[in-house]
Structure 1
Amino acid sequence: MELVLIGFAALLASGLTLLSGFGLGTALMPVFALFFPLPLAIAATAVVHFANNLFKLGLMAQQANWSVVVKFSVPAAFTAILGAGSLTFFDQLPPLWHYSIAGSSFEITTVKAVIGSLIILFALLEMSTRFQALAFPTRWLPIGGALSGFFGGLSGNQGALRSAFLLKAGLSKESFVATGVVSAVIVDAVRLAVYGSVIFVGQLSQAQTLALPVAVGAVCAFIGAFLGKRMLQKVTLRTVQLIVAGAMLGIGAGLTIGLL
């Protein structure tokens, strides 16, 4: 049943990302978090995200603007290490608070409070039409890369910031997408190296159970992207965007207050 739910959620999340504007990692990570400890959920999502972007990279690498990639992705790679390291640091901190509701016990942990708050923040940013129209001058590319890399390493939420900083880089539509894919692959590779050396090794017994769910998630994500593209060519559909954002806000709130 767990595999069925993960596969269905990955297919749905991947398809909806094409229709809502949300990134695959942003929409899929909360689903994994329902079944696995939060650091493992983030790491598992990173594997699916990395595989998905490697496929895109093979198709689009030649269209990337490598000058922009260097300015944006080199800082992102360094701060992704800091973000991924911060995730393991927060996970090791003691619980913040314990409470009970109707005889059931719950606890608020630092890592869930931080990641839940970030899910809420980025869901609100993705919903904001004002933020969607935001674009920073090209001189801010290194700073944008650093911010995108850090939050990518910490929680996987990097797409919204990356787009905001690449929009005014003078790229064609194809080059914009390809440059973003290259940057995402670099950040994913760096954070997976950190996750692999700390999270997967530290929770080896649980990490071994992720192989099949990650494989199912990756395959279903590919199928979902294919079906989503055939269903609708628009990259943003407000109704779908609000549904996805609402689900993310609920999961983010549940993590933050310890219900999930």
Structure 2
Amino acid sequence: MELLIIALVAMLTSGMTFFSGFGLGTILVPMFALFFPLPLAIAAAAVVHFTNNLFKFALMARQADWKVVARFGLPAALAAILGASSLALFDRLPALLHYSLAGLVFEITAVKVLIGGLIALFAMLELSHRFQSLTFSRRWLSLGGFLSGFFGGLSGNQGALRSAFLLKAGLSMEAFVATGIVSATIVDVTRLLVYGSAISVGQFAQIETLALPVAVGTLAALIGSLLAKRLLEKVTLPGIQMLVAIAMLGVGFALMLGVL
């Protein structure tokens, strides 16, 4: 049942986020968190996210603007180390609150409040027309890379900020997409290395149990993307983007309340 849930959620989420361009890692995190501690869930979602980006990297890397990658991607990688390391620190903090509802006991922790709050924040940004039209000049690329990398390492949310800063870099559409993919892949590699080194020896058995669920999630996500590509001309993009953002809002608040 666990693998079936992972496969279905990964396939559906990948299909929806194929059109929206954001939300895959965000929605996969709480799904994995149903079965694993939150830091491990974030790492598992990062592996699936990285695999998808790696496939896109192989297709698009030649079209990337590597000067922009250097100015944006390198600060992003350094900041991803800080963000991913901060995740481990928040996870060690004691629970903030316990409460019961309908006979069930829920626990609110600092790391769930932090990650849930960030997910909800970025969901609201995606729903904001003002943010969608917000862009920054090329001179802010390094700052944009740092901010995008930090939040990418901390919670997996990096797409919104990355797009806002790269849009004014004077890139063609192909170079914009390719540069974003390369930068996202750099952040994914960096944060996965930090996540792996931060996991304690006591969690090693759980790491082994992640292998099959992550493999199933990765394969299902690829299938979802392939199916979505066939429907590309039949889908209304704004509607899908709103659906994904609303789902992210629900996930964020559920994490903050300790439900997930």
Give unpaired runs (5+ residues) of structure 2. Answer: none
Which residues of 2 match residues 1-260 of structure 1 at below 5 A?
Answer: 1-199=1-199, 201-233=201-233, 237-260=237-260
Q: Distance in 2 between matches of 1:74 and 1:189?
A: 12
Q: 1:96 to 1:184 in 2, by over 3 A?
A: same
Q: 1:66 to 1:111 in 2, by over 3 A?
A: same
Tell me the alpha carbon deviations over residues 161-194 of structure 1, each in whole angstroms, 9 at most, x when there is no partner. Answer: 1000000001111111110111011111111111
Q: More deviation in 172-181 or 34-43?
A: 34-43
Q: More deviation in 25-34 or 155-164?
A: 25-34
User: 1:106, CA displacement in angstroms?
Assistant: 1.5
Q: 1:144 to 1:97 in 2, by over 3 A?
A: same
Give the counterpart letter for 2:146 in structure 1: A
Structure 1-normalised TM-score? 0.95
Give the counterpart letter for 2:171 in structure 1: L
Q: Distance in 2 between matches of 1:136 and 1:96?
A: 38
User: 1:4, CA displacement in angstroms?
Assistant: 0.9
Q: 1:164 to 1:85 in 2, by over 3 A?
A: same
Q: 1:109 to 1:191 in 2, by over 3 A?
A: same
Give the counterpart letter for 1:154 in structure 2: L
- Tell me the secondary structure at the aligned position of residue 112 of structure 2: helix
User: 1:43, CA displacement in angstroms?
Assistant: 0.2
Q: 1:196 to 1:236 in 2, by over 3 A?
A: farther
Q: Distance in 2 between matches of 1:246 and 1:7?
A: 21
How large is the Cα RMSD of the aligned pairs?
1.6
Give the counterpart letter for 1:123 in structure 2: A
Give unpaired runs (5+ residues) of structure 1. Answer: none
Q: More deviation in 69-78 or 102-111?
A: 102-111
Q: Distance in 2 between matches of 1:71 and 1:233?
A: 35
Q: What's the % identity of the aligned pairs?
A: 68
User: 1:233, CA displacement in angstroms?
Assistant: 4.1
Q: Distance in 1 between matches of 2:24 and 2:11?
A: 10
Q: Distance in 2 between matches of 1:246 and 1:36?
A: 24
User: 1:202, CA displacement in angstroms?
Assistant: 4.9
- Tell me the secondary structure at the aligned position of residue 61 of structure 1: helix
Contact 1:119 1:252 in 2 (8 A): yes
Contact 1:20 1:235 in 2 (8 A): no
